Structure 1
Amino acid sequence: MSVALDGVGFVHANGHRALTGISLSAGAGERLAVIGPSGAGKTTLMRVLGAALHPVEGRVAVLDVDPWKLSPSALRKLRARIATVHQAPPIAPRLRVVTAVLSGRLGEWTLPRAIASLLHPSDIAGAHEALTRVSLQDRLFDRCDRLSGGQLQRVGVARAMYQRPALLLADEPVSALDPTLADATLRELVAQSEATGATFIASLHAVDLALHWFPRIVGMREGRVVFDRPRDEVTQEMLTALYANEHTAQGAADSAVPMHLAVCRA
């Protein structure tokens, strides 16, 4: 298994319980989407899967190892095999776009090479190819603080693709994009996972995109998994229950269901 969680729970420092009894697994090359209302625990789950948060309960295996039993150096090597696309990418504003993309492989580089790449990018062609896939090739040498939020999000996607990870995680990766760009960006992430055999797990608020691009759908609410089904088995009733009392998401769920099954195959 690429990832396996068994009875995982997490409580934030302020005492808020974000996850309860999460059991979830995904095999190498599998593609699944995590959906649910705001506050369902999706971001916390993604951080646990990325070995960024240590759960307070349960067992975790990521790429066949328990991250929290590794030495610090082994944990760094594990994290270098995981790429995360963030809703708000943690990119330094004054960094050039080319350098931001190339930083996807910092975990593989020696310290001298990493420092040298800040001054003289070592793989301009590779960064250009990744940016072309998200239609940002013309911003290669721009500073990141000159980009819009949606453009920064696509730089984060390009960085993750350049990294070529074994586990690709995406936490609301297209939230700042218009529908056409969102669809195109997810298409590239899916193509990346298929080409490299990477496991691809994304949290998405847009139900239609989840149903279109992911064969397996996990529904979360109040820190728990409420369903884990092939997309063909996700019904209107399940979505209505999942998004009860969240009006905007419920509207997204309602609009997604007519596309369900007939055209939501990728």
Structure 2
Amino acid sequence: MSKIAVAGATGRLGRHVVDVLTERGHVVVRMSRATGVDIITGEGLAEALTGAEIVIDVASWHSSDEEAATAFFRTSARTLHAAGQEAGVTLIAMASIIGADKATAGFLAAKKVHEEVLLAGPLPVRILRAAQFHEFVGSLLDWQQGQVAYLPALPSQLVACRTVAEALVDLALDPVGPAHGAPVPEIAGPRTELLSEAGRLLGARRGVEVVAVDGSGMPDAALAADGAFLPGPHATLAGPGFREWLDGQDSEAR
């Protein structure tokens, strides 16, 4: 049994990470501003990390603004390294996004900086890159706040948050870890799906008409259209496809 601190514990992915760790019998320290721990200012961080062996970093920025997200990730990475080293933490495991290493703009470019700053710190770091979450489709509809939503017809291999959480915990707790020089591990859903088609499935349940657009004007849209943000040949494909996941959500709601 290990004591593991989770940064971003109350977030979309963090809640699942906490659940997986708890189910496996680990002591979990939930770190978020809601629990009195701020990984930007460092408030409450020393106390939270006391006795922790591992930090799992799934904290995220609340908007897609590249500059603000980059500042958040750069600061949080340095703060976690400094406080973690002081507390005797042995490892930081973080969740990133498939294709972040290729990104040139937008939120993915901020995640690229996040990876770089974490890897440059004093503590060992393991990275798991995940495809966009199934839950992300609902956010795309929510952001448009209307009866018609415009979603890009761009390919993604959508994956469930719970599936990512399980893979990230496995990576963090692996006593050996990835071999030196091995590709960064990736986790994605079982099949490639267009974001617009996934949106139509969800929109039909919400009473929202989804119109497919080409994605032009979005950061790195050309790269996305060419499949740059799809999983590579070494990726683990797991969990339900979007339709199966959505049907499961409907069953839970009944």
TM-score normalised by length of structure 2: 0.33
TM-score by length of structure 1 reads: 0.32
Flag the structure with more relative contact order, 1 or 2, with Cα contacts below 8 A and sequence separation at least 6: 1
